[in-house]
Amino acid sequence: MTWAQLVLKSLARRPARTGLTVAGVSLGVALIVALLSITAGVRNTAADLIHVGRSDFGLFQKGAADLTRSLLPETIAARIERHPGVKAAASIFLRVGPAGGQESLLVFGLAADEFPARRLVLVQGRRAGPGEAMLGDTGARTTRLGVGGRFRIAGRSLPIVGIYHSGNRYEDAGAVIPLRVAQAIAERPGEVTTVAVEVRLGSTPAAVAKALERRYDGLIAITEPGQAVKVDTSSRLILSAGWIFSLVALIIGGVAVTNTMAMSVFERFREIGVLRAIGWRGRSIALLILGETVAIGLLALAVGLGLGYLGAEAFTSGSRLSSLASADFTPGVFAWGLAFALGVAVFGAIYPTWIALRLRPIDALRFV
């Protein structure tokens, strides 16, 4: 019998117990994988949204539910533009919802005379005037609309006069309408969701951003993608709760593995005694127990990765994030899942191994 067969045979003796242990550990793995993949997706989204129009960073409302629900007075852009180190500030209204025949589309309300609109590269048609719309080249393919068509949004129908490319994947996958039209659709006249900021040569975005945060209470400046959770309170709550649940799952999983392996050792005192009597060293016994816990960890990893993938996809596709972010399953995400599963396995093997190593062959053989 090979070592792997011996390990699997030991686990198969109590399939119900092994299955419950695997389920407990896999829950922790699933939470880790889902949380990290969603976090990576939100970070990727923020990397594009905070640089709309090739801006250096974006300003949002502190405590907003998400990036698209931030609300700032439009007049603040002019004051920010006068701040030392700021070259230009532009008002942007972001809207996510049904538009262009799609259930969810990202629409940018831009002022034609500000840099985010001026930097759009026209690949077809002309720039939009009042009451007109433009589509990104990706958005045009998605909606199957083009120049001469009509862009329908919130009961309005705007003529499409141009197709643009910006190099920003979310901007190119969406549409641009006049700022005033976006405000009217949202019934938020005089308000914007974000202010895009371009800094002067010689100034650093981080320094200017900190100065603006100190100057204007209630503003949050996002200069790096990882800072998106400072604005997105819903994601922050979800992630915080998720990490708490992950910690609880880690503890429960570790206790479950420890209990499973300890019971396995207690039930196999005689077998362990025989193995010791025929020459097995303590190191071999320890490796056998560790092998069983690692096998549990790997089984839990396989189940947990699948559950984590399904959970992350269900969360992003069934929420407002569907148009803004998708779960990003990077190698690092899977590495953390593996580390969690193996960490729980090693932790759970410590006590049972200690019991087995302290057991003398003569004492073990007394058990019938």
Whole-angstrom distance, CA of residue 275 vs CA of residue 246: 38
> Is residue 24 a contact partner of residue 252, using CB atoms and an 8 Å limit?
yes
pTM attached to this predicted model = 0.64
Between vectors from CA 330 to CA 296 and to CA 325, what angle results, nearest 5°?
Answer: 120
Residue 284: which H helix or E strand, with range? helix 282-317
Written as six digits, the tokens of 124 are 């077809």
Give the pLDDT of residue 368.
47
Whole-angstrom distance, CA of residue 345 vs CA of residue 22: 10
Output the tens digit of pLDDT for each of the chain's 368 residues. Answer: 565 666 666 667 677 777 777 777 887 788 888 877 877 776 666 666 677 778 888 898 887 766 777 899 999 999 999 999 999 999 999 888 899 998 888 899 999 999 999 999 999 999 999 999 999 999 999 999 999 999 999 999 999 999 999 988 888 989 999 999 999 999 999 999 999 999 999 899 989 999 999 999 888 888 765 555 555 545 555 556 556 766 776 677 667 777 776 776 666 666 666 666 677 777 777 777 778 788 888 888 888 888 888 888 777 665 554 455 567 787 888 888 888 888 877 777 787 777 777 766 665 555 54
Query: Which residue in 248, 335, 243 sits closest to 24, CA to CA?
Result: 248
Give the pLDDT of residue 39.
72
> Is residue 164 a contact partner of residue 121, using CB atoms and an 8 Å limit?
yes
Residue 146: which H helix or E strand, with range? none
Let me know if 362 is exposed, middle or buried by CB neighbors in 10 A (0-12, 13-18, 19+): exposed
Query: 230-237: long-range contacts at Cβ-Cβ below 8 A with a sequence spacing of 24 or more?
Result: 230/62, 231/60, 231/61, 231/62, 231/63, 231/64, 231/66, 231/67, 231/70, 232/42, 232/64, 232/65, 232/66, 232/67, 233/63, 233/64, 233/65, 233/66, 234/65, 234/66, 235/38, 235/42, 235/66
DSSP conformation class of 200? P
Tallying the residues shown for the chain, one arrives at 368
Give the pLDDT of residue 270.
67
Give the pLDDT of residue 191.
95
> Is residue 257 a contact partner of residue 296, using CB atoms and an 8 Å limit?
yes
